[in-house]
Structure 1
Amino acid sequence: MTEPRTITLATRDHGEVVLPEPTWCRGHADHRPDTYRADITHYAPQVDLRHRGRTIGFAVIAQAPCAERSTRDIRGYVVLSYESTDGFDPAGLYDLAAELDMHADRLRDLADQLAVTLGGGGQ
C-alpha cells in the first residue's frame, strides 16, 4: 500500500505545516512562507475559458484544508468576467454562444472529475 503524499509548507503563524496533498493538486511551487495556515489551498490544474483568444474566466477544483471562515470541502470554483467594448452583431452573439456551449462541456468534464474525487477516486 502506498503512503499518502504529504507536503511541508512554511507559514507565518504556524511555522512548518505538514499536510496530506491530494493526487489532483498541481503542487505548491508558488507558495510564499508569509502565508497564513488558513490560506493554504490545494488547486487542480486550471481550466481556462476563452473567447476569440481572450480569457473570459477560469474554472478549478480546489480545497483549503485549514480554512477557518469558509468550507474545507473540495469544491469547483468558476470565475467569469467579460466585458464587450464594441458590442456584438448577431454573428458575434452566435459565436459567443457557441464558445459558451463548448465551455459548458468543459465544466461538465470538471464536474465529472470532482465527482470522482469526492467518491474517493482522486484522493
Structure 2
Amino acid sequence: MIRTITLDTIDHGPVTFEEPPWCIGHHWQRDIGRNDITHRSVRVKAAVDTESHGLLPVLNGWVSWAPFAELVPRVAVEVDVQGDFEAEDITQVVQGLQLAGARLEKLAAEAIRLRGELS
C-alpha cells in the first residue's frame, strides 16, 4: 500500500508525494530541499568478530531513492574495515567481507526489482 505524505521543504514549502511501502519514513530528514527528499529501506549490515579488535562493523547498505532527483532506486553503501589485525584475524575479516558482498548482491537485486514496480 502506498501512502501519501507531506514534508516541509526549505525551497518549495510543503511537498506531497507517495511513499513506497519499503521506505522507513522521513523522520531523519530535517531542513531539506525538495530534491533532497529520499526514501530509504531498512539497513543491511555485516560485521566481523576479531580477537584483536572485537566486533567490527564492515557494511551498512540500504536502498535509497530521491524521487525528485533520481529516476530509479539506487543502493547506498558504506564499507569500512580499518586497523592492524593479527594474522589469525584475517580469516574472520575475509569472511565478514564475503558476507558483506553477498548482502550487497541481494540489496542490488531488490533495488532492481523495485525499479520494475515504477514502470
TM-score bin (small chain) = 0.7 to 0.9
CA contact (8 A) 2:40 2:62 kept: yes
Q: Find the partner of 2:66 among 64, 74, 77.
A: 64
Structure 1: stretches of 5+ with no match in the other structure: none
Structure 2: stretches of 5+ with no match in the other structure: 50-54
SS of the residue aligned with 1:119?
Answer: helix
Seq. identity, %: 32
CA offset at residue 25 of structure 1? 0.6
Q: Provide Cα deviations, 1:30-78, integer angstroms capped at 9, x if missing partner.
A: 232x2111111110011123222222331110001112xxx34211121
Of Structure 1 and Structure 2, the greater strand share is in 2
Give 1:41's aligned residue.
38
- Aligned runs of 1:21-100 on 2, under 5 Å? 21-32=19-30, 34-52=31-49, 53-67=55-69, 71-84=70-83, 87-100=84-97
TM-score, L = length of structure 1:
0.80
What RMSD, in angstroms, separates the aligned Cα atoms of the two structures? 2.0
Q: Provide Cα deviations, 1:62-119, integer angstroms capped at 9, x if missing partner.
A: 001112xxx34211121112210xx223321111111111222211221222222122
Aligned length: 114
SS of the residue aligned with 2:112?
Answer: helix
